[in-house]
Structure formats: C-alpha cells, structure tokens
Structure 1
Amino acid sequence: MTISRESRHVRADPDQVRDALGLVRRSGVPDLLRNWRNDDRRRAGQVSRGGMPSWLSDEQVLTVLHLVTSSGHPQTVDSMASLILRGLDSESLTLLGLDTAGATFNEIRARVSRSLHRTLDVIDPHPGPKKLKQTFAELRRYELSLPDGLVEERKRRLLELTNALLAETYRAVPEQYRQRWQGNCCVDATFVQAFCGKGTPWASAIGDDDLVASEPFAGYYIRRKDHGVSGEDLRTMSRAERTKLGKISWGWETTLVVMAANFPDEVATFPLLVVGMNFHPPGISPGRHAIDALRRMHAAGMPASYLAGDRAYGPKPVTEDYAGPARELGYKLLWDLTEKETARTRRIQGALLLEGNLYCPAMAASEKLITATQDLRYGDAVNGRRITQAEYDQRVAQRGRYLLKPHGGIQPNGTGRFMCPAAGPAPTVTCPLRPREDPKTVGLWPIRTRELPDEHDRSALCTSISGVVTFKATSRFPRLIQDKQYGTPEWLAWYTTLRQSIESFNSYLKLGTATAMHIADRRRVRGFAAANLFVAMDVVAINLRKTERWLQDPVPVDAKGRGPTKAQKERRREKLGYGPRLPRDRGTR
C-alpha cells in the first residue's frame, strides 16, 4: 500500500497562525526582502517585475515555513503545501489571506514551490541552476558570470535576515526576565549536512568534464583539525592519512552564539537562547564569522560580558578577525588551549605571556610552574608521569602570585594597563627591584635576585616607579590574552558554565524529537540560502519552545537580582580525590 504525499499533512490552529504571523511581521524581515528586491530591480533596470504573480508573499512563505518547522515536520515543499491545503481551517486561511478553493495538492505544491524560490532568490549568494548536473568547467563559467560583489552582498542579506528573526525571539522574552541577562555567552560552530549523496569528487584527478556535487558550494567537514579540509588536500593524502581523519562529510557549519548564566554558581534566571548565528562552509575563518553574528547582536542592543569559545576561537584567529572586534564590542574572552599552546612562553613588553595570562618575568625561572598544564594533561618531559589534580592546583595557585594585576584592564581600542605584582597597595610578591617596608609584605612570596631578568632586558614593568605598564595593541596583544587566570577553579567554573550552554543547545538542536537538524533529508530544497534559512527556522522554533517552557516555571531572584545557587553534584572522580577535570584535548582545533 502506498501513502500519498497529501496524507502527510501538518496542522496549525488559528492561535498558532496568529503568533507566527506576529513573529514574522515584528522581525521586519518581509520589509527587508521587499526593499532588497526593489534594489535588485533598479540595478537591473527593470520597471516592473513581470511574469506570473507570486501566490504567496514573503510574509506568507516565512509564516508557513515557521509553522511547519515548529510542528516538527520536515521542511519540505510537500509539508508546506499539506499545511495550507489540509492543516488550516477557514479562520487560519483568512488570517493568512489565502484561498485554496478548488485547488488540488499538486497545484498548491507548485504554487508554494514558486513562491518559496521567489523569496530565496533575493538572498541566494549562488543564484544558479539547482538540481542540475554540472561539470567543473560549467561551474567556473557560472561563477565568472556573476556580477562583482553579488555573493558577498547576498551573504550579508542572509546574515541580517536570520539574525533579525533571532532578535525577535529574544524580544519575545518578557522584559523583566530579558533584562536579567548581563551578556555572558558562548560561541561555537556545528555541522549541517548537505542534502546530497556525496561531496565533490576528490579520490582521483579532477578534470573540467568531471561533475561537481549537487551542492557545489558546501565543503568537506571532519571532526579533527579545523573541521574543514579541501578536496585538493584530500587528493594529496594517502589512504592511511585520510583514515586518520575519521568520517568525512559534506555540508556547511552554522556558527551559533548562545546566552549563558550570569555567574557559574547561579541558576540561569532567564531562558538560554541562541541570539546570533552565521552560516558558512566548514572550517573557514571561524573568528570572523563569529564576529559577524556578535555585531548583529550589538546592533540589536544586547549586552556584552564574558564570551567563551573552543580552541578555534583562541589564539588562532588574527587580531582583526576575532579578539580585536570582540573587545571593541565589550566582550571579555575565555578559551581552552591545544597541546602545543601549553607551556609555551612569549615576552610582551617585558612581561611573560603564558597560556593567555601575563606574569612577572621572574616566573620563567620556575620550570614546574611553566609546564604545569602540560604535566597534567600529557605527562612531564622526563618520565611522562602526569601530575595529580591537587599538584596542578598548587602550581596554578603559585602562578597566581606572579600574575600581573589589571589596572584598568583591556580597553576597546586594544590597549591595556597592567600592574607589577610587587607594586600597588595589595602586592602578591616581594621584589628586590621594589624594596618596601610595609606590614602587608610580610609572608609574601619573595622573588630572588637571580630570578630577575638581566638588567639590559628589563622593561618599564620592572623599572617604572609605579609599576604600571600600558600594553599597546599588537599582533599578540590582546589576541593572546584571556580575562581569567587559566587553569584556576574560577577559570574552569566560568569556562565550563559558558560551554555547557552551547553544547546543550547543539544537542537539543539535533534531537530527533525536536528539529532533528542533523538529518539532511528533512531539508529537501537545495542551495546555500535554503539551507541557511531552514536552519535559522529550526533555531527560531527551539528558542520559542524554550521560552514557553521557561515561562511556565520562571526562576525567582532575590533583592539583589541573584538567582538560586546551583546545586553542586560531586562527581565520582572528585569523590576519589582527583578534583575537577580540565577540558580534554580533542584535537588541534
């Protein structure tokens, strides 16, 4: 027995239709699409659009797509047509302004398909033919035929459109709860499988007559390295090298920015939503794509505080791509380290830079303090023995004595003022270069003369009277600087709290009972713009669902605006005396 396509219909009641229409209208997206379409017509010298009129407007297309996504059904033209023909009562059709009298399923389906592609045409960076077999030569000719700047302009439109929808879900949270969020968030990229069998061939030599993938503007994705790998690199690898990469997939990445709790020890007093996103091929400029999303959040008036990311958002991106713009937007940065970044020291204006923090140069004389993280994760260089968590905590605490103290901190322009740990009203060490008779110095850790840098190698950090140094913006500063001392319980609590918020959201996003974003068959409309829009609709649906559930039992706050203390569960490794675990090294990213 076969099941006809029209029997798999979706349903929505008038209240759901009214809410969906309100969301789309308040986001301003239909106005954006209309203005962009008019700009394109003026540029092309068209007086009128001509052709068959669209059955669905942009507003109606987005509303129907949102209703389909929220219902948990696949984001297909069939689902949209089924909703219109079978799933809406007369009141709902009136709200949408639709008339389906006398129309068959196939007629409705054809109308929906034309209307959807009319909407996508305005924001598609690659408006070429879909569902056609193309050779490399044909694809190159097509790319050369595009007007200058069109691809980047359409990507900017997609970025603005998707983030306008997310901003509206953020504003859907009642203001009394929304204002509780202080701006902590975490950024990460998650893989989106393309709806096609395989990627562009890489196992053999590529010629002009070889066919490209049906989604030619996606990319290869691997879980290791930087998540992206080119076909050229794969062709030069041996079979053993490709096997080490693990599973190789074809698709895109979506960069998501998720809200996080205000304090590590506090239950979040607001729903944790995705408030920024971007869409791009895997492994390409993660820092720059994150900043594009953060700028849209800033334009929407969202606050900024601590921003965490995995190893792709640490020292790797150049200053102009991530750290510089993030500081300008008001964020304080946290990230984890790869193996080759542990125990690596640098000198910046006389200070010792280690694992994202600035220390007194005298700390270089203590090798155990320098190699603490390396010895915990990978074992020491002599016998490979790993130190215990308790030993590591002692070494990190000792490092803290040498830590430079922020004196105004890092400014939005990339400069920063820091103070010598032996200077100021609350020193943490005593130094021969700064002798002082002060009861506060009794019992402090002494820096010995032999540990000091050579006289010709001393900077203003050691020679200035105040001990305050202004660090200039360079290729290393503030790109390599974190705002918490790496490895301390405080750093671990902040980083873990922020990272857990996005890992939890990514898991929910791919949950089979929710949107099942990891299943490409649920997004059967081809093209970069369609994939981006459908994923954005997935995120919008989850944001609204999380908000609705949170409002059923909102978290109370005290007179100071603080939420309840988070219940601390003692883990098995902590019961055995190992202490909390640092993030594991999962590769070079």
Structure 2
Amino acid sequence: MYLQTAHRVVTESGAPELLHKWKQADRASNAGAKPLIPLTAVLTLFVAHALAGRPITYDELASTLRLRLDHDERVLLGVSHKPGTQDQWYDRAWAAVNRVIALVDPYPGPRNVILRGGAWESFRDRTQTPAYAANTALMLERFDELINAVVQASISLVPPDIWSAYEGSIAIDATRVRITGRPNAASANGDRSNPDPLSGRYTRLGSHQGLGAGTDEAAYELETAVSIWNRPGESDRFPSLVTAVTMHNPGQLIGHGARLIGFHKRLGFDRFLVCVDRAYNGGTIETFHVPARLAGAELVMDYQRPELGLQGWYEDLFMVDGNWHVRWMPWDMVMAGRDLEELNEKVARARGALKAASRDEEGTRTPEQLKEDADNRALVDSAPELRVALLKLLHNRSRYRMKPHGLPDADGAQRYTYPNEDRPLVDATPLKRRQSVTIPMLIPETDAPPRTEAPRPSGSPRKPQPIRFLQKFAHNTPEWDAHYGMRNLVEASNRLLKKGTRFNIADPDQRSGRGYAFTYLSVALVVVADNIHRIRVFFHAEAKRADDASKPKTRARRRKDANGNPLPRRQTTNTGPPR
C-alpha cells in the first residue's frame, strides 16, 4: 500500500521526466549497462520508507530491495530481479542514490573524511571559483524544481472539491535539521570538524546562525510553506499541507522566502496572504518584499519595537505600523504602537525586578533598592490604565486609515480611497482635495514632508521604502491578531515533522547519507509522506464528524430500571388550555 501510493505521487509529479532530461544532458553517451535500480525508484523508496515509519538508511533500503519487495512491486519500480546478499544490495542502493544526487548536488565534494589544513584550503578555494559557483546555482534550481514537483504532487491526492475551498494563504518558517558529527568552525578559514565540510552551525538564538558557542549544533534549516485557513477558525474545510520547501545553512535564508512564494504560486493562486515572522520582513526589499508583492502576496507580519511608528511617507500620507494613514493623524496616534510595546517591555522588566527583590531577606534592601521597588510597583499598578489609553489611540486610527480599493496591480501599485472627512478627530489638511490616490510599489526618494514631528526612522539619511513594512491588516488590531495567529500552523507543522513518534526529521540517525544533497532529498521526501498522512488524518476526522452528526443528540438517562436498562424520558405534557 505504501509503495503504490509513493509510486503514484512520484510518477504524477513529473520527477521521472526531469531526472531523465538531466541525465541525458549530463552524460556523454547512452553506453553502459542498464542500472539495477532506476532513478525514479530511489525517490519512491524514500517516500515509502517514510510512510512506513522506517529510517531512510542504506541498510534499510538494502533490506527492502532484498526481502520486502514481491515480484509485482519490483516490476512496478523497475528494480532488477537479480539476486544478491545484503552487502551487495547495500552497494547497489548506495550507487543508485548517488546517481540521483549527482544530477542535483549543488555542493559536490568529499564526504568521507574531515578536511583539515591544506586539504580544506584546497577544497575551499575550489568552491570560490566561477565554475563551482555556476554549478551550484544550476543545481540549486534543479534540486528545488525536483523536490517541489513531488511535494506538490502529494497535494493532488486531495479531491478537487475539497481543495477548491482553499484560497491560497500560507505561513512560512524554517526548522532545524540536525546532521551527525560536530559543527564546523564558525570561520571559513578554520579546519573542518564535520565530514560534511560546507554544513553550518545552528543556535536557537537570533538568526539561528551559530558563531562558535559550545552549544551550537551541526545542522541545516528546512524552509516550509504551509497552507493556512482562509479565515481564522476554518479548520475543517481542507487539510493544512506543506506546499513548498527549500533548504539552506542556518541563518542564510536570503531569497528563500521569495522562492517558497514562487513555488506556492505554481499551484494556481493569483492573490494570497503570507504570514511571516520578523526574520523575513527584516530582510532586504529586493530579496523578499518586492518579489512577494509582484507574485500577488500580501503580508501579515510583526515588527521590532524601533520599527513601529512612522515607517515612511508619500505625498500627504504616512505609513504607520504597516498601513497608510493621512498625514494629519495626531502624532500620539502615530507613536501609539511603539509606546504600547515600550510599556509592555518596561512592565515585564519591572515584574522581573520585583520577583527578584522578593527573594531577598527582609531588611536587607538598601534605600536606593527600596525606591526602585516602589517605582517598579507603581509602574505595574498604573500599567492597565496606560494600556487602555494606548489601545484607544490604536482603535481611533481607523478614522485616518486609507482604504484599499480593489487588489494590488500587477506592478505592485495599489489604489486607496481617503477616509471619511466627517469623522476625523482633528481637522483635515490634505495637500490637495481628491477622493483617491494610487501609491506605487516603490516610492521616489524625496525629502520628508513639512512639519514632520520626528526624524526619519532609525535616523536614516534616506527616505525608507514603505514596502518593507506594508501589510494587509492594521497591526495590533483584533483582525491582525487572528490572522497572524495562524502562523502557529507552520510552527505546528514543523513540530510534527520533528516528532519522534512520527517522521522525526530531527534525528540524524534516521538517514545515513552525508552532505546537503542527501539530507535535503531525504528530509523533503519525508515532508511528502507527512502530507499524505495529513490528508488521511483529515478524512478520518471528516468521517468522524459526519458520524457524530448522524447520532441522536439526546443522551440516554443515567438512571436505569431493575434490568439495567435506561429509564425512558418523560413525555412532554400538554399544559395548554383544553380544546
């Protein structure tokens, strides 16, 4: 059953045709014996092993090829009926896997030794050559094309009437994929400590790029795009699946968010939401925001505190906390979001200081410490009232918010209509009277408008491009909270992929090959198996919902008669007037 399902997905993905095309392009001639294990069979076996909960190791692959396949399954895969020992099938599996890897490996090099000294310097210099860099770019394109073709083929198992309910919104995030061995030196000049010489270091902090701490781990990061509900709470209309993947060294995610969006768009979506964390919107606009906008994506994202408040301007408009507002909005409203974040941070620090002070023995606090305790207690006590006032300012921003008119154009421009001038809290002073304005995707570099009450964000001498902050919903509103909360779906998805009782991509012992190519191939095909599992779980839950709906709503009485049967319910009496 697992093998047939895996074969169907791999065959319908177009992967066999891609592998054949690349094989023909890379080989000098068609001479040579026919392989005992075809290239397509490797992908199928990887998916089938993941579905069956078996490790993707050469020893397990050899056991499957030698013992677990019957005649019809060998014919289905095109695997030779030639007999052999476990060691012989191990070698055959190793050779077949490496034939696939040779067609897509962006970082070819030694993986059976740890490079040190001159050996590492020689290989490192080779990776800096134009020829190696060109091969890396080509192979990354091939690899992502192959993997995402199979991932998206697994989605085709969802019946069209179910999948058609999905409107295309996704959340994207990265998750750690550990590899065996110690992490390499943080410096490119340092000797290697891992048989995979180009693998990175992972840390849980910051951008996740390890810089040499003793707690760093040898790892890659798998980027996934996961389908989210059309609207918060719609959890029963379609399954939440991984729609696109990429992989990279920890912290080196530049360009990968845009690649995920590009592959996701191939499923046929023209306009869709993308929920991201700060790691993505903190990148450059050329590598994420602009490609995402041109692909039809509208972002839902959060900001660091210094980024809140005034984020850009265009003619008589201000970009404030991700949305366009008229420039005559009161300044305390412009800064309300930043003030609220600052208040929350101060209160958190005050609570922490008070908790630490409570551990000191009575009578040991100095007068200065007692005054600090009193100030912290006063801040904590006044915080609710201050928070209510700031939230009221955030709520009143809606009177000054520009209203999107239709969808963004193909070039990323968006038309907006002005808010109702009868409802502002201060007099309107537009530069010129008009009902609407079209804001281009990129704003010309101009000076700040007159009477700006604060310097440019972060003290930048140049005008910021508002697209870096632009998002669909007003930040910190209930609508934004509900949609940004759906980013939990990608975090839950990555957590399930690493769960030990499921597919367990967190355990490097579940795969025996070394290097970026084997790791990416095995982990991504585990994602395919997980998609299949999620589809199965969705329909089991759907069947249970239908079964529960068909059951009577009235439960049996707890009291029973002498024979142990529930007592009948009392019939409703007619208390109306006689007729």
- Classify the TM-score, shorter chain: 0.7 to 0.9
Q: Which residue of 2 aligns with 1:521?
A: 509
CA-CA distance at 1:202 after TM superposition = 4.3
CA-CA distance at 1:151 after TM superposition = 0.5
Equivalent of 2:183, from 194, 199, 203?
199
Q: CA, structure 1 residues 67+409, in 2 after alignment: closer, same or farther (shift >3 Å)?
A: closer
Q: Does 1:374 align with 2:374?
A: no
Q: Which residue of 2 aligns with 1:7?
A: none
Secondary structure in 2 aligned to 1:256? strand
Q: Which residue of 2 aligns with 1:483?
A: 472
Paired residues of 1:219 and 1:251 also in contact (CA < 8 A): yes
CA-CA distance at 1:267 after TM superposition = 2.6
% same residue: 25
Q: Does 1:360 align with 2:360?
A: no
Q: Does 1:339 align with 2:305?
A: yes
CA-CA distance at 1:65 after TM superposition = 1.6
Equivalent of 1:179, from 150, 153, 164?
164
Output aligned runs, 1:271-420, within 5 Å. 271-286=239-254, 288-302=255-269, 304-314=271-281, 316-366=282-332, 369-379=336-346, 385=379, 387-388=383-384, 390-408=388-406, 410-420=408-418
Paired residues of 2:37 and 2:78 also in contact (CA < 8 A): no
Q: Does 1:549 align with 2:547?
A: no
Paired residues of 2:316 and 2:431 also in contact (CA < 8 A): no
- Deviation digits for residues 276-325 of structure 1 (CA, Å, limit 9, x no counterpart): 11111121244x212112212223424541110111122x2222211222
Secondary structure in 2 aligned to 1:366? helix
- Deviation digits for residues 70-105 of structure 1 (CA, Å, limit 9, x no counterpart): 111111011111112222233333333334554111
What letter matches 1:30 in structure 2? P
- Deviation digits for residues 343-396 of structure 1 (CA, Å, limit 9, x no counterpart): 454433332222212222233432663534324531389978464465554232
Q: Which residue of 2 aligns with 1:81?
A: 62
What letter matches 2:416 in structure 1? F
Q: Does 1:250 align with 2:218?
A: yes
The 1-side partners of 2:91 and 2:474 are apart by 59
The 1-side partners of 2:411 and 2:437 are apart by 16
What letter matches 1:530 in structure 2? F
Paired residues of 1:270 and 1:554 also in contact (CA < 8 A): no
The 2-side partners of 1:61 and 1:370 are apart by 53
CA-CA distance at 1:504 after TM superposition = 1.3
> Could you tell me the TM-score, scaled by structure 1's length?
0.77
Paired residues of 2:183 and 2:216 also in contact (CA < 8 A): no
Q: Quick check: which has more Rg, 1 or 2?
A: 2
Q: Identify unmatched segments of 5+ residues in structure 1.
A: 1-14, 235-241, 422-426, 431-440, 453-461, 558-589
Q: CA, structure 1 residues 79+402, in 2 after alignment: closer, same or farther (shift >3 Å)?
A: same
- Deviation digits for residues 428-461 of structure 1 (CA, Å, limit 9, x no counterpart): xx4xxxxxxxxxx3xx343058xx6xxxxxxxxx
What letter matches 2:142 in structure 1? R
Secondary structure in 2 aligned to 1:173? coil
Output aligned runs, 1:531-570, within 5 Å. 531-554=519-542
What letter matches 2:304 in structure 1? T
Output aligned runs, 1:114-153, within 5 Å. 114-135=95-116, 136-144=120-128, 146-147=131-132, 149-153=134-138
The 2-side partners of 1:102 and 1:345 are apart by 69
> Structure 1 residues 169-178 or 140-149, which shifts more?
140-149
Paired residues of 1:344 and 1:354 also in contact (CA < 8 A): yes
The 1-side partners of 2:247 and 2:279 are apart by 16
Secondary structure in 2 aligned to 1:156? helix
Secondary structure in 1 aligned to 2:494? helix
CA-CA distance at 1:17 after TM superposition = 2.3
CA-CA distance at 1:125 after TM superposition = 0.7
The 1-side partners of 2:543 and 2:327 are apart by 46
Q: CA, structure 1 residues 363+174, in 2 after alignment: closer, same or farther (shift >3 Å)?
A: same
Q: CA, structure 1 residues 445+463, in 2 after alignment: closer, same or farther (shift >3 Å)?
A: closer
> Could you tell me the TM-score, scaled by structure 2's length?
0.78
The 2-side partners of 1:302 and 1:420 are apart by 29
Q: CA, structure 1 residues 548+128, in 2 after alignment: closer, same or farther (shift >3 Å)?
A: same
CA-CA distance at 1:254 after TM superposition = 1.2
Q: Does 1:155 align with 2:140?
A: yes
Q: Note the aligned Cα RMSD (angstroms).
A: 2.8
Secondary structure in 2 aligned to 1:122? helix
Q: Give the length in aligned residue pairs.
A: 489
The 2-side partners of 1:86 and 1:332 are apart by 51
Q: CA, structure 1 residues 73+38, in 2 after alignment: closer, same or farther (shift >3 Å)?
A: same
The 2-side partners of 1:326 and 1:193 are apart by 29
Paired residues of 2:115 and 2:197 also in contact (CA < 8 A): no
Q: CA, structure 1 residues 90+54, in 2 after alignment: closer, same or farther (shift >3 Å)?
A: closer
Q: Which residue of 2 aligns with 1:495?
A: 484
